[in-house]
């Protein structure tokens, strides 16, 4: 029978609680790259992101006894990393940088064309990606947080609810609203682009 990833992590957590430091090292090796990527989206500096993740792992190790094992270890350490990153920004009076995440190449809103990409198609794709980034940045912090965790980090609704400490229904509502705003911006852009293109070809 295949053992779930959560069960494997919990096994390592229990060994670490019993004093097996190597078990905790395995958890660090398993998740540090993903968490550095998460911290980087907050602080925009890879070295600071690495330091924040190291600090997060130290915090989690020191409070390992308080981990109740009712959620996955990754959800727990993810939340610690997010909070550590936010606290860093607040301490540096840089609240305006909170969650100013860049849209990665593998983000959900992909731009696809049926025909071969022409220079005009590539320009439109670039403009549309910029529009999506700007639209997400203009969302309220709660909505932007939920949408970012879902679309960029791939967390489930339940995991996001634990990270932001609110009901799953609220998370779903925020993500729905966020997607609705982004989709509307895309729709308006495409309509304007189509109208402009028709005027040029007349």
| 3-state SS track over 21-84 | HHHHHHHHHHHHHHHHHHHHHHHCCHHHHHHHHHHHHHHHHHCHHHCCCCCCHHHHHHHHHHHH
Buried-state track 110-144, b at ≥16 Cβ within 10 A, e below 16 = eeeeeeeeeeeeeebeeebbebbbebbeebeebbb
Q: What is the DSSP letter of 109?
A: S
User: Comparing C-alpha atoms, which of 150, 56, 60, 54 is closest to residue 99?
Assistant: 150
pLDDT score at 21: 85
Q: Which residues make Cβ contacts (< 8 Å) with residue 66, sequence separation at least 6? A: none
Q: Do 122 and 202 belong to one domain? A: yes
Final residue before a domain boundary, out of 55, 75, 96: 96
pLDDT score at 137: 82
* CA–CA dist 73, 67 (Å, integer): 8
CATH number reported for the structural domain that contains residue 8 in this entry: 1.10.1740.10
pLDDT score at 197: 61
Tell me the per-residue pLDDT of 131-170, one tens digit each, with 9 for 90 and over.
888 888 888 888 888 888 887 777 888 888 888 888 888 8
Q: Do 201 and 104 belong to one domain? A: yes
* CA–CA dist 79, 59 (Å, integer): 11
Q: Do 13 and 48 belong to one domain? A: yes
| Dihedral-angle region of residue 60 (phi above 0 means left; psi in -120 to 50 means alpha; beta otherwise) | alpha
Q: What is the DSSP letter of 155?
A: -
Q: Do 72 and 142 belong to one domain? A: no
Q: Do 163 and 72 belong to one domain? A: no
pLDDT score at 146: 85
Q: Do 188 and 163 belong to one domain? A: yes
CATH number reported for the structural domain that contains residue 195 in this entry: 1.10.10.10
Final residue before a domain boundary, out of 61, 79, 96: 96
Q: Do 36 and 89 belong to one domain? A: yes
Q: Do 80 and 127 belong to one domain? A: no
Q: Do 77 and 108 belong to one domain? A: no
Radius of gyration of the chain (CA): 20
pTM of the model: 0.53
Cβ atoms of residues 42 and 99 within 8 Å: yes
Q: Do 121 and 179 belong to one domain? A: yes
Final residue before a domain boundary, out of 96, 111, 131: 96
How many separate domains does the chain show?
Answer: 2
User: Comparing C-alpha atoms, which of 163, 155, 74, 148 is closest to residue 107?
Assistant: 148
Which residues constitute the domain of residue 132? 99-202
pLDDT in tens, the chain (202 residues): 566 788 888 899 999 988 888 888 888 988 888 898 888 888 888 888 888 999 999 889 888 888 888 878 988 898 899 889 888 888 765 445 444 444 343 344 443 444 445 566 566 677 777 888 888 888 888 888 888 888 777 788 888 888 888 888 888 888 888 888 888 888 888 788 777 766 655 5
């Amino acid at each position: 029978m295949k053992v779930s990833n959560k069960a494997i992590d919990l096994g390592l957590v229990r060994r670490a609680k019993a004093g097996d430091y190597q078990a905790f090292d395995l958890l660090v090796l398993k998740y540090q790259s993903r968490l550095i990527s998460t911290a980087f989206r907050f602080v925009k500096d890879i070295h600071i992101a690495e330091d924040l993740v190291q600090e997060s792992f130290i915090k989690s190790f020191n409070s390992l006894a308080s981990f109740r094992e009712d959620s996955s270890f990754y959800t727990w350490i993810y939340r610690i990393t997010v909070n550590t990153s936010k606290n860093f920004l607040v301490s540096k009076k840089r609240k305006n940088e909170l969650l100013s995440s860049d849209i990665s190449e593998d983000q959900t809103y992909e731009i696809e064309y049926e025909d071969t990409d022409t220079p005009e198609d590539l320009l439109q794709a670039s403009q549309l990606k910029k529009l999506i980034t700007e639209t997400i940045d203009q969302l309220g912090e709660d909505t932007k947080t939920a949408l970012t965790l879902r679309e960029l980090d791939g967390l489930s609704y339940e995991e996001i609810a634990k990270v932001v400490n609110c009901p799953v229904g609220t998370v779903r509502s925020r993500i729905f609203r966020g997607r609705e705003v982004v989709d509307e911006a895309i729709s308006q852009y495409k309509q304007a682009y189509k109208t402009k293109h028709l005027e040029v070809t007349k």
